[in-house]
Amino acid sequence: MPLDALAVGNDAIAKVLDEIGDLIELKGENVFRAVTYRAAARSIRDLREPLTKLVEERRLKEIPKVGSSVSEAIEQIVATGRSKRHDELQAAVPPGLLTLLRVPGVGPATARTIYDHLKITTIEELEEAAKEHRLQQLPKIQAKTEENILRSIAALKQRTGRSLLHEARAAAMTMADYLRAETGVEQLAIAGSLRRYKETIGDIDIVVAGDDAAPIFEVFARAPSVERVLARGDTKCSVIVDRGLQIDLRVVPARSFGAALLYFTGSKEHNVRLRGLALRRKLLLNEYGLYRIGAEERGQEIASITEEDVYSALEMDFIPPELREDRGEVDAAKAHTLPKLVKLDQVRGDLHTHTNWTDGRDPLADMARRALAKGYAYLAVTDHSPGLGMTNGLSPERIEVRLAEAARLNAELAPFRIIVGTEVDIRANGALDYSDALLAKFDIVSASVHSSFGQTREQMTARVVGAMRHPLVTALSHPTGRLLEKREPHAVDLDAVIDAAVETGTWIEVNGGPERLDLPDTWIRKAVDRGATLVANSDAHAIEELDWMDLAVGTARRGWAPDGRLANVRELDAMLASRKKR
Ligand code: DGT
Ligand code: CA
Ligand code: CA
Ligand code: ZN
C-alpha cells in the first residue's frame, strides 16, 4: 500500500505488519513468523505515542513484541513508506489471494486451496464458485465452509462504507481526549451525525474554538490514531484514522462556537429548514452566527455563542440533536410542543442482559454489581432458552439454580434487585421455546426471533404477533432482526406488531446492541404515536456492554420517545406492575 511517508500513523503501520503476517501464511512460510508480526501489530495499536517519534528516539525496542525484524520493517516504513519484507512477499504471492482472505471464514490454507485449484482471485468469482458448489469438491473444504463463505459474502455486500455509531464514537472520543490534552483548547464538541446518534456514521465532525487553526491542525495531524492527512485548509483539516474512518476538524472563533456547532451538527435538512425560517424574518443564519441581513459583513451577530442563544433568538425551544432531521421538529419547537425526551440518567434498570451461563462473558454477580454501580435499581438477567443450541440455553434444572443464586445475591445487594428473566426463542412455527409452566417462573419474558429469518412477511408476522399475544410474554426483543451493515431486517409487518403491542400491553424493545439499534427510530416514533410502551435495553453480554444503554436511549430519543413511555424508567414496583396481566 502506498503511504505518504510524512504522515504514516500507528494504525497504518500496524496494518502493513498484519498484512506481512497474512502474506507469510499465504506463502506457506513458518506460521510462527506470521504470529510475530501480528502480535507486534496488536501492541502497536495500543500505543499511546506516535511510532514516528519512537523511531526518532530509537525506542522501538521498548514496545512489547517488537523484535529486530519487526523493528527493521517499522523503520523502513517510517523512512520510505514501504517495507522490503512486505514488497518481497507481495511479489511472491499471487495477487488476489489477500482479497480472498478478506472474506471471514476463509483462512490462509483455504485461500491457498481455492486459488491453486480454481485460480480464483476476486470475491465475485468466489461467490459464483460457492453457489455452484465447486468449493466443497476441493480437498479439506466442507459443505459447511462453503455455506459460511456465502453468508460472509452476503454480509460484505451489505456494507455501505459507513461505520457503526459506537465504533465512530470510540474513535471520536480518543481524538477528543488527545486534542484536549495536547492543544489546550477549551471548547471542543463532537458534532455531525455522531452527535445526533444516527445509527451509522459517514464521518466524524469535531468543532473547536480557537483563534489560530494552524498549530491545532499540526497537533491533530500528528495524533497516534491518524493514518493519513487528507486535506488541510484555513479552517478545516481532514484525516483518516483507524479502520478508514474520516475525521473533519473545524477551528472557529470562540464567539461563533454555538453557531458553528449548530451548523456542523446538522442535519443538512434541519439547517436548511432553520435558515428558511430565519430568512422569513430577514435574518441570515450561517456557521458564524445569526445576523440581520446586511449586517453580517460588519460582524454584528444577534446570536452565535451558544446553540441555545441561536434557537432562542429564532423564538423557538432548544432542539435536542437527536431530533434534528427535519421531521417536524422545527415547527414543534416554535409551537413549544417538543416531547420531553427520555434521558439516560432516568433509566432505572436494564431488562435484557446475558451471563456466562449462555452466550455472555461474565457471571451474574459481576453483571449485578456493575448495574448497581451504574446507579440502577434493578437488572433482569435474560439468558437464552435452549432452542439456540449454540448458546447453551437454560435447562429446567439450571433455571432453579439460577433462581436460588439470584435470591442469594438479592439478599446481599438489597434494595437492588436482580430479576430472573429469559430471552425465549420464538420457534419457526410460532411456538415459544419453554412450556408455560417454565415461563411462569420468570418475572420478565422477552421473546425473540433468532432463526428462519427467510420466512414470508405473512409467516413472520403471524409468528411474532402470536408470541406477543401470549400472556406470559412481557416484551418483544429486537423486532426487525436487522444487523447494521450485515443483515437486512426480516420481513415483518411492523404496523401489525405495533397494533399487537398496544392491544396486548406487550412492550417493544429498543435494543442498544451497536449492530442492532432495533426498533429503528422512525418506527419508534410510530409506536410512540400509537400508544405502545417501549423498553430500552443494552442486550449486554459483558459488564462493559451495559453502557450500550446509552445507544438504546439515543435511539429512543431519535424516535421522539418521552420518558413516560419507557417501562424501565419506572421504579421497580411500578415497572413490574405495568407488565401486562399474566
Ligand atoms: P454523515 O457524516 O454522512 O454521517 O452525516 P453528517 O450529518 O455528519 O454530514 P457531514 O459530515 O457531511 O456534515 C456535517 C454537518 O455539516 C451536516 O450535518 C450539516 C452541515 N453541512 C454539511 N454540508 C452542508 C450543506 O451543504 N448545507 C448545510 N446547510 N449544511 C451542511
Ligand atoms: Ca459527519
Ligand atoms: Ca464531515
Ligand atoms: Zn439477547
CA distance 11 to 327: 39
Distance 41 CA to ligand 3 centre (A): 29
pLDDT: which is higher, 300 or 530: 530
**pLDDT (tens digit per residue) in 25-83:** 888 888 889 999 999 998 898 888 888 889 999 999 999 889 999 999 999 999 998 99
> Which CATH number fits the domain that encloses residue 354?
3.20.20.140
Distances (CA, A) of 521 to 162, 168, 480, 535, 540: 18, 19, 12, 14, 20
Mean pLDDT value across the chain: 93
Among residues 279, 303, 334, the one where a domain terminates is 334
Q: What is the pLDDT of residues 103-113, one digit of tens each?
A: 888 888 899 89
- From the CA of 200, give the closest atom in ligand 1: 4
Residue 78 within any structural domain of the chain: yes
- Among 375-389, 524-538, 559-573, the least confident range: 375-389
85/146 Cα distance (integer angstroms): 33
**68: Cβ–Cβ under 8 A, 6 or more apart, which residues?**
none
Residue 2 falls within a domain, yes or no? no
Over residues 290-303, the pLDDT tens digits come to 999 888 777 788 99
DSSP calls for 430-458: S-BSS-HHHHTT-SEEEEE--S-TT--HH
**Domain end position, chosen among 106, 123, 158:** 158
Residue 5 lies in a domain: no
Is the residue at 392 inside a domain?
yes
Give residue-wise pLDDT tens across range 395-411: 999 999 999 999 999 99
Considering the domain architecture, whether residues 222 and 352 belong to the same structural domain is answered as no
Whose C-alpha lies nearest to ligand 1, atom 28? Answer: 268
297, 387: one domain: no
Query: How many A from CA of 193 to the centre of ligand 3?
Result: 9
Protein residue with its CA nearest to atom 9 in ligand 1: 192
Are 565 and 339 in contact by the 8 Å Cβ rule? The answer is no
Shared domain check, 352 and 291: no
Domain shared by 406 and 275, yes or no:
no
Burial readout 45-74 (b: 16 or more C-beta within 10 A, e: otherwise): bebeebbbebbeeeebeebeebeeebbebb
CATH of the domain at 139: 1.10.150.110
In the chain, the amino acid numbered 207 is V
How far apart CA 291 and CA 495 sit, in angstroms, is 45
User: How far, in Å, CA of 44 to CA of 204, rounded?
Assistant: 23
126 and 16 within one domain? yes
Which letter does DSSP use for residue 375 in this model?
A: T
CB 352 within 8 A of CB 382: yes
Rounded percentage of the chain residues whose pLDDT exceeds 70:
98
Please name the residue whose Cα sits nearest to atom 10 of ligand 1: 192
| Closest approach atom of ligand 1 to CA 263 | 20
CA gap 339, 336 in Å, rounded = 9
| Domains identified in the chain, total number | 3
Distances 400 to 199, 404, 424, 541 between C-alpha atoms, Å: 39, 6, 16, 21
Of 237, 242, 240, nearest to 219 (Cα)? 237
Is 383 domain-assigned?
yes
Q: What angle (nearest 5°) sits at the alpha carbon of residue 482, between those of residues 476 and 486?
A: 155
Q: Report the pLDDT value the prediction gives residue 389, as an integer from 0 to 100.
A: 61
Residues 210 and 324 in one domain: yes
Q: What does the pLDDT read at residue 499?
A: 98
Give the atom of ligand 1 at the shortest distance from the alpha carbon of 162.
4
Which residue has a Cα nearest atom 18 of ligand 1? 266
Closest C-alpha residue for ligand 1 atom 26: 268
Domain final position from 120, 138, 158: 158
- Which ligand lies nearest the alpha carbon of 248? 3
Nearest atom in ligand 1 to the alpha carbon of residue 201 is 4
Task: For residue 134, tell me if it sits in a domain.
Answer: yes
pLDDT digits over 227-255, tens only?
A: 899 999 999 999 999 878 999 999 999 99
Domain containing residue 301: CATH number: 3.30.460.10
Which among 246, 379, 208, 133 is positioned nearest to 219, based on CA atoms? 208
Q: How far is the CA of 340 from the centre of ligand 3 (A)?
A: 29
Q: Which atom of ligand 1 is nearest to the CA of 205?
A: 11
DSSP, collapsed to helix, strand or coil, labels residue 473 as: coil
Whether 171 and 254 map to the same domain: the answer is yes
Is the Cα torsion angle 462, 468, 471, 473 positive or negative in sign?
positive
User: What's the rounded Cα separation, in Å, for the pair 347 and 512?
Assistant: 13
128 and 198, same domain (yes or no): no
Is 454 a domain residue?
yes
Atom of ligand 1 nearest to the CA of 272: 29
Nearest to 227 by CA among 50, 5, 10: 10
pLDDT(5) > 70: no
Best residue among 264, 265, 272 to mutate for probing ligand 1, ranked by most atoms within 8 Å of CB:
264
Ligand 2: distance of its center to the CA of 489 in Å? Answer: 25
With a Cβ cut-off of 6 Å, ligand 1 is lined by 192-193, 198, 201-203, 205, 263-264, 266-268, 271-272
Exposed (0-12), middle (13-18) or buried (19+): which is 202, by Cβ within 10 Å? middle
Question: How far away, in angstroms, is 203 Cα from ligand 2 center?
Answer: 4
Tell me the β-bridge partners of 284. 291
Task: Identify the domain containing residue 265 by its residue range.
Answer: 163-334
Residue 1, pLDDT > 60, answer no
Distance 582 CA to ligand 1 centre (A): 48
Whether residue 354 sits in one domain with residue 249: no
Q: What is the rounded average pLDDT of the residues 392-396?
A: 86
Q: Which of 246, 248, 271 to mutate to test the pocket of ligand 1 (most atoms within 8 A of CB)?
A: 271
- Centroid of ligand 2 to alpha carbon of 323 (angstroms): 16
Ligand 1 atom closest to 270 (CA): 29
pLDDT of amino acid 393 = 84
- Model pLDDT, residue 390: 53
* 454 and 372 co-located in one domain: yes
Q: Do 481 and 495 sit in the same domain of this protein?
A: yes
Instruction: Say if residue 355 is in the same domain as residue 303.
Output: no
Distance 201 CA to ligand 2 centre (A): 6
- The predicted pLDDT at position 7 comes to 58
Cell of 244: 478508514
Give tens-digit pLDDT for 435-446: 999 999 999 999
Indicate whether 3 belongs to any domain.
Answer: no
What pLDDT, in 10s, does the model give residues 136-186?
999 989 998 999 899 888 878 877 789 999 999 999 999 999 999 999 999
